[in-house]
Structure 1
């Protein structure tokens, strides 16, 4: 009703509206220090301008130029109010103010470099709304995107935080179509900001982007602009800052690997995340799991001591200061299976070795096996119920890389829990064949599994292999000797007793036939790399 009345009498009311705001706004233009009551009056006037623009924009014909004048005043508070008010007017969905007042728009854009932190922060807050509601301002918006990138490097933390928040609030289509990936990666740098506010806003913004675009993960634009985000999160571990890492963990679970999914979908998402990680980020993910495992062990020790000395830890926590709530939130997250749990293992096994699926590319299968290898190093007990299935997968696998990955997981579990992987004689024969004729890595992992077999028949076959390798055939080619020596080294490391009776003969052969033999050809396929079990090195 009031809006209709105002719009129906624009010509009559314009002069009175302008006079009112002139009295309120210009009355304090020359004052550098404002009383609190003056600030409230001026703030109320600016809020009224925004409300009037929504219902009767014609009434503000002569008021907008007054706001433009305020942008250049020496009073910081007035410049901040004018910047915020004009930001609201320019960014409104149906606003045509940019076309009607080009000089005011230009003056407002210049506030991006205002000397006041408060004004620069106020200007930055409206970038998202302008991008979303007025994509037609392409040229100006591209310049604003560059400005947003610059604001991410602003010396004032409030401005950096506002820039992170503004970029994070953008519509996903706007980000994918108009925001350069360099701007997003600069936002990623703020995840390691020394100040809390910019760091939290950056993690929140990137986490939101990844979460909202995950369903469109096959889109090349999404892969380019969002695929690096999990790695950026995980690389925060290299900063070695406990507060920074704790914040990252919270957003990692909330946005990157959320808990509110069934096991199959969670496995799919986890594999997708791992597939996009480089080696550095994969090591960080492994380190994150190891930190959690260590915290779980320490907490179990604490609980055991509480029981031993009849202490009620729960009551102590309840009576602790309320300020400790954040600390206990971090602790609970650190000791919980929020990233992985038992029921995820069979889903990952199927994705690593099972039948083809719609999204089961070779890269995704490799990522699933890589993830399982990490889990085996940190949580080998999770695999106890799935050893038979893994063994079957390895025995049936025709792809060399997949077979080696399976052997590596089983070997890792057997080192941690020697009784976990108990093999039938057919599987033992399979491992012996790999020790004789397989690749170097296959021979190594197979020998580790053999070293942890305790059945009489397995032990007998293992000892026979050691003896036949210790006295190699004169016709055995060097290349064929390499996997045997790799296997023998693993056996010597884990079951040295089986090696002692033949060690002298083997050493003499190696020294005479290989080390001192200048005519010996290089062993094709041999390699030297860091092993995944203890400090062993494979040759």
Structure 2
């Protein structure tokens, strides 16, 4: 073959730049390399080849080609190329490489010969990495082929990849062992680049081999095979792109185009995606043509494929050095659209993928934020929870300037989500944000305060949801993020003040309520600790004691959402009988321990539990967060007292404001945890004895609260008693109240104050300038030392009833408003209200005493019942203060409810009088209705008032203020949700329907007129909407039916009213069952009605007639059915319109 004809295309690349035009050199090698008839011995042949090699490597291309002819052909003789001697072959390969070099740009071999030569070269190059003395020859060969670019000749050979692939594979394998010199690795890399880039040899196997290296090694690996792969990809990106795309296309499209869920197919796709991610991290250009494949995958019906593509692209976009989003804007847009994918799991994965994108690519943040905002209202709770969680992960608070307040507020809104999993994540996120921003808030950074300073307020507002799981979550967030662990008492106290200062009034009330609940739970846990200690000491626990212990633990567990787990945790700890841990629990909840001591005991206890009872650790953490004095601790007091003095005497600024807040916290602490002040009593008394009025006022308030908690125990020195007495005599109303409280609650108050009380009682006349002070002081003395009031009670009652309450308080406003705050009332109105409080406090204090005589009790109750009849209408007519009338009505009603809960006074609440209390819930003044409803709800929730008062709440059915109506309904429903009602039994709320019917039967507005019955039906509709469920509706229907076979025990002549209302209630219950598709089955249990309300009629004809007869007027029934048909027709019409207009989402 004429080499000029076949190799001209390669001439430009094979020309030696050092070729000279001098006289050609000649190969001076005359020996033959081929033996005849036998081959030359290996040793001798080696010598010859070495000599030849030494000459050839020194020759340049200006050699006489004729002098090369003999060796050119002899070197490819089978005696040499198939010699068993490795050194012979290695030398021969070097010589052949030089022959090709010297003949460039022509080739002295035919294509077939050349193909065999390259196979021969490949075979020799496979010895790298093996322990052989021929390494220098192998390296010479490699370097020669690389520098001369001999592999370009492969372009003329058929199936060249088959020839060269073993060498490529060997190169990767041997370099992976990391045993070769760096120059060898570089030569190999260059050879492979030549093969791919210049010769265009890049088949499927070669592509897979290159991509395989990304699977073998991770980003950052120093392995030579990985580094060689990277060099090849960087140098040959253009050549590789199409092949790489084809590789991934074959895998991805074959699966994504089907709906197959076979694990083998999916595993292959997952591997391909994993590989794409790894390639993208180092050589993203390689995926130029493959990226659209991922875009298409995000659109397929196969959910697993869509999710995989979304995750893969998310990881690619998130790469710190990535510009994928910028480079492929359409793919980015498609990826953003996956946030609304129909698959919930994919939406979750999309959100999780956003975290690193947000962190690494600020240019994408605005788009992401808008997408996040949508996800907080996603229909799936897991998506909403994840949206909240990733806000914590991305650290949106790190840059306060760019922090999106709307985004933080949206997270905050999820703290009131209907699903607990969302609430937990939302609160953890906003808690984390607040904690991370606190130092900037502390530094008074207005931007940060405006954007996140409201977070504690929001957290505490969630208490109004009334959900047990929410309360536990709030307590956890407060301890972890709002008031995190900090041994520095001064810093912790300052943080407490900053947080409380940020609260609105409603949330400050909630915060105080939470602390009061924690104090009560703390007391319960002390009882539990004593129970644990007794259990350890008693080896033989009686069945009665075991049952009692179980009941108490159930009572504690009922305060948590997961009652069963909490009960089991408490019982498990009790059974553990570990005296060290019981002692740790006692120390952790001890109010007289410092913050450090409490935290140390708590953490040690949790660590001990984690060692052998890890299953109860999270439950006990919730228990301890509630029981341990951590938010308020005795360690705070000294620093709070210091802060109250710091801001005084200065102009209004942040320090002054914090001083005011510190004083409020001290006041709250004295109410909730008065025992914590034991070590600070000396300082408080010093403040009272000082001449600084404001300081003395604060001290008086604290001393009063401490005294309340230790009635009859405090012993005061004479100078303090004198100072307190002076405050009662000559101080302001507030000073007199606090001073009287401290004096009345001290040890030996009866002897010390007897003379002073007698002197003060002389001021009880209408024009006395000290009347309000005396009434306020006596109200406190009556509560804490009623024996001092006994001698004066008759004259006090006479003065209040005949003089004070009969005094006309002129209207001061025009118009004469029905309500104003207590502070805005005229002094005479405040005197009346304080006088009523005095009488009520006296009865409260005497509830367990023999005094006063019954006529005194009756007289005071008569005053209260009479006050309920004072109306705003009569006040306006008489031109007296209408707001005073409202306050008196409200105060009297609340006082009656309170007093009649005491055993001594229960007889004062007859059935008619109980029903009269309902009038307050239909008062003309909204504030009276609202305040009384609040009183009932608080009392029912805390268990301080009888369950009979649930009945009164349903009188709110006609409440014109929707907010109050919703509040009452929400309260009833939440109370029902936490009541434990055994199977087949009814709740106290269910049974209140009987009281409601009796109350309405005696209502002065009741008639059998159609319109009146419609009005009264609203009470039952409201009751049913609050109480009725598929589980209790049969019981409700049954007890209402029972009324029809009974007679009214209060007024038998009104029995028919009850029958009418019974039929009305039954009709509405059946209507509800029909509308809601509830079954109305016969109730199988036995029911007895309250004997004070109804008595069952004798069995017989009368009973049969009443139960059979429908007492509802025919006119009412006709109108009721017409309205039902009309509403049913309207409903069907709306339904048809809705179906006609319904849009189908494709």
For normalisation by structure 2, the TM-score amounts to 0.43
**Change in CA separation of 1:182 and 1:483 when aligned onto 2, cut-off 3 Å:** farther
RCO higher in 1 or 2 (8 Å CA, sep ≥ 6)? 1
2:340 aligned with 1:99:
no
How far is 1:23 from its partner?
A: 1.5
* Mapped partners of 1:397, 1:228: distance in 2: 39
Instruction: Choose from 270, 292, 311 the match for 1:84.
Output: 311
Find the counterpart in structure 2 of residue 246 from structure 1.
Answer: 472
Instruction: Choose from 504, 515, 523 the match for 2:827.
Output: 523
Q: Verify the 8 A CA contact 2:713 2:746 in the aligned structure 1.
A: no
**Change in CA separation of 1:34 and 1:180 when aligned onto 2, cut-off 3 Å:** same
* Mapped partners of 1:507, 1:342: distance in 2: 43
Find the counterpart in structure 1 of residue 510 from structure 2.
Answer: 284
Q: Verify the 8 A CA contact 1:17 1:60 in the aligned structure 2.
A: yes
Find the counterpart in structure 2 of residue 454 from structure 1.
Answer: 747
1:1-80 aligned at under 5 Å gives the runs: 1=227, 2-80=229-307
Find the counterpart in structure 2 of residue 122 from structure 1.
Answer: 349
2:633 aligned with 1:337:
no
Look up the SS of the partner of 1:28 in the other structure.
helix
Find the counterpart in structure 2 of residue 326 from structure 1.
Answer: 618
Find the counterpart in structure 2 of residue 465 from structure 1.
Answer: 756
- Higher mean alpha-carbon deviation, 303-312 vs 224-233, is at 303-312
* Mapped partners of 1:204, 1:245: distance in 2: 14
Instruction: Choose from 651, 658, 661 the match for 1:364.
Output: 658
* Mapped partners of 1:216, 1:322: distance in 2: 38
How far is 1:365 from its partner?
A: 1.8
Q: Verify the 8 A CA contact 1:413 1:421 in the aligned structure 2.
A: no
How far is 1:267 from its partner?
A: 0.9
**Change in CA separation of 1:485 and 1:320 when aligned onto 2, cut-off 3 Å:** same
Look up the SS of the partner of 2:266 in the other structure.
helix
- Higher mean alpha-carbon deviation, 423-432 vs 252-261, is at 423-432
Residues 111-148 of structure 1: CA distance to partner in whole angstroms, max 9, x if unpaired? 1211111221122223343333333346x52xx42432
* Mapped partners of 2:706, 2:758: distance in 1: 27
Find the counterpart in structure 1 of residue 412 from structure 2.
Answer: 188
Look up the SS of the partner of 2:261 in the other structure.
coil
1:60-459 aligned at under 5 Å gives the runs: 60-137=287-364, 140-141=366-367, 144-173=368-397, 176-217=400-441, 218-289=444-515, 290-291=517-518, 292-310=521-539, 313=574, 315=576, 323-354=615-646, 361-396=655-690, 398=692, 400=694, 403-418=696-711, 421-454=714-747, 459=751
1:501-512 aligned at under 5 Å gives the runs: 501-510=791-800
- Higher mean alpha-carbon deviation, 509-518 vs 193-202, is at 509-518
Consecutive unaligned residues of structure 1, counting only runs of 5 or more, are none
* Mapped partners of 1:418, 1:73: distance in 2: 77
Look up the SS of the partner of 1:246 in the other structure.
helix
How far is 1:387 from its partner?
A: 0.9
Cα-Cα RMSD: 3.5
Find the counterpart in structure 1 of residue 178 from structure 2.
Answer: none
How far is 1:229 from its partner?
A: 1.9
* Mapped partners of 1:451, 1:45: distance in 2: 84
Look up the SS of the partner of 1:39 in the other structure.
helix
2:775 aligned with 1:485:
yes
Q: Which has the larger radius of gyration?
A: 2
* Mapped partners of 1:87, 1:206: distance in 2: 25
* Mapped partners of 1:127, 1:359: distance in 2: 43
Look up the SS of the partner of 2:503 in the other structure.
coil
* Mapped partners of 1:519, 1:148: distance in 2: 60
Q: Verify the 8 A CA contact 1:447 1:491 in the aligned structure 2.
A: yes
Q: Verify the 8 A CA contact 1:152 1:187 in the aligned structure 2.
A: yes
How far is 1:447 from its partner?
A: 0.8
Consecutive unaligned residues of structure 2, counting only runs of 5 or more, are 1-226, 542-572, 579-608, 813-825, 846-886, 892-1146
Find the counterpart in structure 2 of residue 495 from structure 1.
Answer: 785
Q: Verify the 8 A CA contact 1:172 1:212 in the aligned structure 2.
A: no
How far is 1:320 from its partner?
A: 8.9
Find the counterpart in structure 1 of residue 1142 from structure 2.
Answer: none
How far is 1:505 from its partner?
A: 4.1
Residues 369-389 of structure 1: CA distance to partner in whole angstroms, max 9, x if unpaired? 222233222322111111111
* Mapped partners of 1:206, 1:469: distance in 2: 56
How far is 1:329 from its partner?
A: 3.2
Residues 288-340 of structure 1: CA distance to partner in whole angstroms, max 9, x if unpaired? 33334244233234224324524793636889975434323333443333333
* Mapped partners of 1:284, 1:67: distance in 2: 52
* Mapped partners of 1:247, 1:96: distance in 2: 41
How far is 1:215 from its partner?
A: 0.7
For normalisation by structure 1, the TM-score amounts to 0.87
* Mapped partners of 1:525, 1:63: distance in 2: 85
**Change in CA separation of 1:364 and 1:453 when aligned onto 2, cut-off 3 Å:** same
Look up the SS of the partner of 1:177 in the other structure.
coil
Look up the SS of the partner of 1:107 in the other structure.
helix
How far is 1:168 from its partner?
A: 1.6
* Mapped partners of 1:397, 1:84: distance in 2: 72
**Change in CA separation of 1:269 and 1:16 when aligned onto 2, cut-off 3 Å:** same
Look up the SS of the partner of 2:379 in the other structure.
coil
* Mapped partners of 1:77, 1:449: distance in 2: 73
**Change in CA separation of 1:473 and 1:300 when aligned onto 2, cut-off 3 Å:** closer
- Higher mean alpha-carbon deviation, 223-232 vs 382-391, is at 223-232
